Amino acid sequence: MREIELLLSLTPRQWDVHLSQARFRVLVAGRRFGKTQLALAELLFATWGRPGSLAWYVAPSYRQAKRIAWTRLKSMLPPAAPAAINETDLSIRLPLGGEIALRGADQYDSLRGNGLDFAVLDEFASMKPEVWPEVIRPALADRRGRALFIGTPQGHDHLYDRFQFAQSQGLAGASTPDSSDEFAGRARAVAGPVSTVADWQAFQFTTLDGGIVSKEELAGAARELDERLYRQEFEASFEGTAFGLAYHAFSREENVRRCEYRAGARILWSLDFNVHPMCSVIAQRQGDTVEVLDEVVLDNANTLLACESFWQRIQGWRGKHNMGTLQIEIYGDASGHQRRTSGAGTDWNLIREFFAQRYGQSTAHIRAATSNPGVRDRVNLVNSRLLSAAGERRLFIDPKCRQLILDFERVCWRADELGQPTTELDKSDRMRTHTSDALGYYLAQAFPPYAKIGERHDRIF
Ligand SMILES: Nc1ncnc2c1ncn2[C@@H]1O[C@H](COP(=O)(O)OP(=O)(O)OP(=O)(O)O)[C@@H](O)[C@H]1O
Ligand SMILES: [Mg+2]
């Protein structure tokens, strides 16, 4: 074993990848598997004691490369052998060895013109796919350099294509030394002698395989995520883009039940500021469980009418439970800060005034978010409350919430002209999405998406 291999300890599954002889390796693994750590170790393995060698760590952006890898890489340098560190260029020249540089796939020009011995493409799914064929692959040609693609799945994208290709090549066994590229059925030029090692090898590991995240931690994540997202993020599964029904976790049998207002509970009111119809939901929370008690769906309404309607609905509870002051929390669409559905003040200002006039009968806290979460993130979150990957249901709907139930049973993802899924909901039926949107705004604020485990910040939930 080489000295550098003794200095850097790898987990058993990291070893599996390290020991592969394949020229191009594709590692698909769950979050916190130890992907980046392996990437950095591989950079040192590729350059240590190899004068003149050059290896690159490529992240989706220069900033990401610096944030994720720079400090870590420097801390992995063997202290006994001082290296020349260039902070401006994010490069390290090793004593008696080669050079390692960090690069961002967003800065195309900085990527050209170098002959490389090794390149790691970390978070490959978040890079422009052209980076490989146009820049990195040509740079590896003259030195017959190696490459390691790394990522956590994000659906059927170019990481998936690479993984599939590597898997098919790996299974095929031997291939030609320069059959290195091109997947998807393109003819391969046969050049040179046939090697006994496959050029490509694919690896797929779960987060648990990595041995870094504990079972308990994973169980926590399973409670917070819906099944598909859990499989993607922690089991490294390539889930197809959500298509068809948006709220796939909903079950009329399991999520619909009689929900009665509990005396003294805070009344949660969450609004969508669509006009025709204007929709809101009234809910209560006990610990982690949310019960939707009622919905307010008004045709051709404005915010004031919605406030009045809501106010009427809750008066019965005050009388029944002999309560003086009702505690109300109000949530909803962040766009209500600018929008004026009734011409006068902004939606949120109208609500503020309405409840100010009823001070004494109610204490209203406005919890309007300043921005809305992404639609997919919000829908994923609602699904996780309807049914988590751990099998828990923590969202229940009273049967009188007819429009909300119809939303859960009917709202679909919109398809584009070619029939491909989009990241928007189908709004072709004017009655659909608004009630579930209203509930989603509340849930997104009350239960912020699972504390991000991992380094991928661009698109998570
Ligand atoms: N072989 C190892 N020995 C000790 N610690 C390790 C090892 N591999 C990884 N780690 C530690 O585990 C944590 C996660 O590792 P790393 O960042 O490499 O995972 P990742 O799969 O890249 O995560 P992400 O999904 O966030 O990109 C880090 O704190 C890292 O230092
Ligand atoms: Mg990483």
Report residue 88 CA to chain centroid gap: 31
Q: pLDDT tens digit string along 391-406?
A: 999 999 999 999 999 9
Residue by residue, DSSP assigns 311-368 as HHHHHHHHHHTT-SSEEEEEEE-GGGGT--TTSSS-HHHHHHHHHHTTBTTEEEEE--
Q: Is residue 107 part of a domain?
A: yes
Q: How many CB atoms lie within 10 A of CB 143?
A: 15
277 and 174 inside one domain: no
More confident residue, 267 or 458: 267
Query: Chain-wide mean pLDDT for the chain?
Result: 88
Q: Tell me the residue range of the domain where 352 lies.
A: 252-446
Q: What is the pLDDT of residue 122?
A: 97
Instruction: Report residue 172 as tokens.
Output: 């095929």
Contact by Cβ (8 Å): 440, 379: yes
Answer whether residue 459 shows pLDDT above 50.
no
Does some domain include residue 41?
yes
162 falls within a domain: yes
Instruction: Tell me if 238 is assigned to some domain.
Output: no
- Predicted pLDDT of residue 85: 95
Mean pLDDT of 244-271: 95
Q: Do 174 and 256 belong to one domain?
A: no
From CA 182, how far away is CA 185, in angstroms rounded?
Answer: 8
**Of the residues 141, 172, 205, which one is the last residue of a structural domain?**
205
Q: Are residue 154 and residue 270 in the same domain, yes or no? A: no
pLDDT given for residue 146 in this prediction: 97
Residues 286 and 349 grouped into a single domain: yes
- 233 lies in a domain? no
Compute the Cα dihedral for 318, 323, 326, 327 and give only its sign.
negative
Q: How far is CA 408 from CA 172, 244, 399, 411, in A?
A: 46, 12, 13, 6
C-beta of 169 in contact with ligand 1 (< 6 A): no
DSSP tag of 78: -
pLDDT of residue 165: 94
Question: Is 229 part of a structural domain of the chain?
Answer: no
233 alpha carbon – ligand 1 mean position (Å): 15
- Predicted local confidence at residue 171, as pLDDT: 54
Residue 196 pLDDT exceeds 60 = no
Whether 243 maps to a domain, the answer reads no
- Predicted pLDDT of residue 214: 93
Task: Based on the fold, state whether residues 160 and 258 are members of the same structural domain.
Answer: no
If you measure from the C-alpha of residue 405 to the centroid of ligand 2, how many angstroms do you get, rounded to a whole number?
Answer: 40
159 close to ligand 1 (CB < 6 Angstrom): no
Same domain, 272 and 172: no
The pLDDT, as a whole number, for residue 155 is 86
| Predicted pLDDT of residue 456 | 54
Asked if residue 118 lies in contact with residue 43, where contact means CB atoms within 8 angstroms, the answer is: yes
For residue 205, the CA-to-ligand 1 centroid distance in Å is: 14
Indicate which atom in ligand 1 lies nearest the CA of residue 39: 18
Q: Return the residue matching tokens 């490529």.
A: 58
Tell me, in angstroms, the distance from the centre of ligand 2 to residue 210's CA.
12
Q: Are residues 166 and 26 in the same domain?
A: yes
Output the pLDDT for position 73.
Answer: 96
Domain end point (choices 145, 170, 205) = 205
Query: Which one, of 97, 125, 127, lies nearest residue 111 by Cα?
Result: 127
Given pLDDT bands bounded at 50, 70 and 90, which one contains residue 182?
Answer: very low
CATH of the domain at 163: 3.40.50.300
The fraction of the chain above a pLDDT of 70, given in percent, is 90
For the entire predicted model, the pTM comes to: 0.82
Is 274 in the same domain as 201? no
Residue 91 lies in a domain: yes
Q: Which of 421, 419, 341 is nearest to 379 (CA)?
A: 421
Amino acid at site 196: T
Q: Spell out which residues have Cβ within 5 A of ligand 2, the ion.
A: 35-36, 455
Q: How many domains does the chain have?
A: 2
State the CATH number of the domain containing residue 363.
3.30.420.280
Among 176, 205, 234, identify where a domain stops: 205
- pLDDT tens per residue, range 274-329: 888 999 999 999 999 999 999 999 998 889 999 999 999 998 888 777 777 889 99
Would you say residue 54 has pLDDT above 80? yes
Judge if 201 and 291 occupy the same domain: no
Pair (256, 178) in one structural domain? no
56 and 166 fall within a common domain = yes
* CA of 68, closest atom in ligand 1: 17
Specify whether 21 is located in the same domain as 167. yes
